[in-house]
Amino acid sequence: MLILVLLHVLVATAVLAGARRAPLAGAVAGIVVLGATAVMAVVEGVGASTPRTESWDWVPELGLSLAIRLDGFGVVMVLVVSVIGVLVLGYSASYFDRDDTYVRFVGLFEA
């Protein structure tokens, strides 16, 4: 699950840094990542007997950790957000002009 979170950050950084020449490619990469997130939520969460949980120590001296949990409600929310994200990016590809504002929108939307 952490891989997909990092993939969102990676795509957003790549779009903001280097997609000025091909802004539509940034939107396609965002749609692919959102689709992969939705597929992962369905595969990992639907029908699972226990919620999937991943945890990493963030500041062990203070007892702080980063935890991601995917339960039934989490699956529904991931699907809602991912589907709406795909629809927004798909619509924005035809709505916005291909300029710097579109690239910035896609990068910030993906982040």
Instruction: Supply the pTM of this predicted model.
Output: 0.79
pLDDT digits (tens, 9 = 90+) for 6-65: 888 998 888 888 766 777 888 888 889 999 999 998 988 888 888 889 998 989 999 999
Q: What share of the chain is helix, strand, coil (3-state, %, to 5)?
A: 70, 15, 15
Tens-place pLDDT, residues 61-109? 999 998 999 988 999 999 999 999 999 988 888 888 766 688 888 888 8
Strand boundaries in the chain, DSSP class E: 52-59, 64-70
